[in-house]
Structure 1
Amino acid sequence: MNVLKVGFFAAVAALAVLAAREYLPRDAVQAVAARVTGEAATESGAPSRHGFVDIPLPDGQSGHHVVIFAPANCPSDAAQRAEALARRLDDAGIPYTRSQSANFSTLSSQDEANRVMSVMNGPIPIVFVRKRARANPDAEAVMAEYRGG
């Protein structure tokens, strides 16, 4: 059931990206993609040194700890990566929570919506560290981002 929820969320997000591509100039879509992949490091709003992008927090998240978004109790590779990340954070003493879904009801601009879609449509797990997020980061990047290094 949880896999279905994650799959449904991914499908809706993918449709939103496709719709946005029809209404946004090609340069705007490429600029957001470049920010997520780290290719535009000199631009304002660029990713952090560890590839995390500024995006609003999902509804109900405080931003005081790491949040890992991935399906729970799932044998998929994505879920296993999330499990390994959680174990590494435990070993490092970094507080985290896990969630299977994210809602963004307070997006204030199309730019924010594009940044959210770019990250949330990436490979799972999606990881938030304070007000920054990245799709499928390695544990070292998460720990470094959390520690501010």
Structure 2
Amino acid sequence: MRILMILLFACGLYGAYQWWQDRSPPGTAAFDTAGFVAVEMPGGVARNTVLVLAPPNCPSEQAQRTEALVRELTRAGIPIKRDSGFDFDIANPTAEQIERIDRTVAVFKRGAPAVFVNGLGMSNPTVEQTIAAYRGSGGRR
């Protein structure tokens, strides 16, 4: 009887291992393509406003790219909100919202500047990519 229990336990462990190997991590498919991906917009960002997340007052190369991006978007007349962090205003998130939140966090972790516009997000986009996402997602300028 004891051998049968050990055998069943081993089979259960093997089955769990196989199942775990076959599943893909959350948000993996979202980054298989280049460009903006669907994300959950952080709280406090108005529609048709580009949120640019980067560390404040930083002399790094990422900060210089952020400054250049903000300067060009401002020159193009696109409304911008700069910040160094974000939060979500969601009380009881659905599974879909949780998946989009995970993608938002993944975009943020990929490096500065993290750019979010009308439900789309990308890490370190070019000015052209950001303007195209803004105009393609409802922004008109």
State the TM-score, normalized to the length of structure 1.
0.67
Post-superposition shift, 1:82?
0.6
Give the structure 2 partner of residue 36 of structure 1.
31
Partner Cα separation in structure 1 for residue 45 and residue 130 of structure 2 = 17
Match of 1:122 among 66, 86, 110: 110
**Shift in Å at residue 28 of structure 1?**
2.7
Q: Deviations over 1:95-131 (max 9, x none)?
A: 1110111112524334233322321211111101111
Q: 8 Å contact 1:63–1:131 — kept in the other structure?
A: no
Q: Look up the SS of the partner of 1:112 in the other structure.
A: helix
Identity %: 35
Distance 1:135 1:104 in 2: 19
- Misfit runs of 4+, over 6 Å: none
Offset, 1:26: 5.9
Closer/same/farther in 2, CA of residues 147 and 33 from structure 1, 3 Å limit: same
Conservation of the 8 A alpha-carbon contact between 1:37 and 1:51: no
Name the residue aligned to 2:38.
54
The residue type paired with residue 113 of structure 1 is: I
Determine the structure 2 residue equivalent to 1:19: none
Q: For 1:26-84, what per-residue CA distance to the aligned partner results, in whole angstroms no more than 9, with x for missing partners?
A: 6331x62231241xxxxxxxxxxx71111111121123211100112110111111101
DSSP-derived class of the 1:104 partner: coil
Separation in 1 of the partners of 2:120 and 2:109?
A: 15
Q: Give secondary structure in 1 for the equivalent of 2:116.
A: strand
Q: 1:70 to 1:37 in 2, by over 3 A?
A: farther
Structure possessing the higher radius of gyration over alpha carbons: 2
Question: For residue 108 of structure 1, what is the amino acid of its counterpart?
Answer: T
Checking the alignment, whether the CA contact within 8 Å between 1:36 and 1:134 is kept in structure 2 is no
How well do the aligned residues superpose, as a CA RMSD in angstroms? 2.2
The code of the aligned residue for 2:130 comes to: V
TM-score (norm 2): 0.70
Instruction: Flag structure 2 segments of 5+ consecutive residues without an equivalent.
Output: 1-19
Q: Give the C-alpha shift of residue 89 in structure 1.
A: 0.6
Determine if contact 1:33/1:118 at 8 Å carries over to the other structure. Answer: no
Alignment counterpart, residue 27 of structure 1, candidates 20, 23, 36: 23
